[in-house]
Structure 1
């Protein structure tokens, strides 16, 4: 193979790799500030509120991805039943040219309190589309009021 052909192929390979590998894509998860009440409308103090996120890992033996849900932030409600899960960010070093200029932002969390049924968000319960400058869910927030039901 000619030297110029090899050089061209190397440059082409580097350009293709450059499309897929970019430094510092910042991804944000939304802020969630809310209130927890009982069925009578009374505030619930010291309920444990946890953000739920997914962790993906490749199963090398089977050749597919496993998705595990985990609690990434935990807090307790104050005397007025209020809670806050702060906006978080992480850096992704590898992403593709198929990353679109918008993002769906989800607010997934669960609330636990002794004597009450555990509350977990349903898929798509808190969702918002974000477009501006698209740092995923930067400056997106959810403000739910959650009613916990007593255990029977």
Structure 2
């Protein structure tokens, strides 16, 4: 009888783990195409454009969720001031809730920096778009024209 209880208990444990840890949630980051210019509309070469993402985790001591921004991708502008941050995706293996609703809004953030110029950083709603396919940023492309001011 104890053997059957162990088998049932292991089965229930595997079912619960499968609800919370599985590779179903794919997070997409949109494609960003843009041009970096100065105030006189001259292209800025070799400016660094960095995609900013948020990393989320649960504070084990206090039990609340924390987040931190990090730079996930960086590119330099070409001779004409153009840059491309390609669409990318990652798999979120661990879910906090078992049933996640599909997202319809795509938001992105990035910053542009160059020596001798003031760093430009986007705000939360600067690049935001509703995606009718309800899959957040999959297939979304933002076009940006960034003007850097000299220090």
Deviation (angstroms), 1:94: 3.6
How has the CA–CA distance of structure 1 residues 102 and 90 changed in structure 2, closer, same or farther, with 3 Å as cutoff? same
- Residue number in structure 1 paired with 2:47: 47
Higher mean C-alpha displacement, 82-91 vs 19-28: 19-28
TM-score normalized with structure 1 length: 0.81
Paired position in structure 2 for 1:3: none
CA distance in 1, matches of 2:57, 2:16: 25
How far does the alpha carbon of each residue in 1:43-85 deviate from its partner, in whole angstroms, 9 at most, with x for none? 0000000000001122212222221101000010000000011
CA distance in 2, matches of 1:30, 1:93: 20
Q: How many residues align?
A: 147
Equivalent residues of 1:102, 1:131 under 8 A apart = no
TM-score computed with the length of structure 2 as normaliser? 0.82
Q: CA RMSD in A?
A: 2.6
- Residue 56 of structure 2 is matched in structure 1 by 56
> Aligned partners of 2:13, 2:132: CA distance in 1, in Å?
32
Gaps of 5+ in 1: 1-8
After TM superposition, give the deviation of residue 93 of structure 1 in Å.
Answer: 2.4
Structure 1 SS opposite 2:51? strand
State how 1:1-150 maps to structure 2 within 5 Å: 20-95=20-95, 96=97, 98-132=99-133, 134=135, 136-150=136-150
Structure 2 unmatched runs, 5+ = 1-8
Mapped contact 1:107–1:142 kept (Cα < 8 A): no
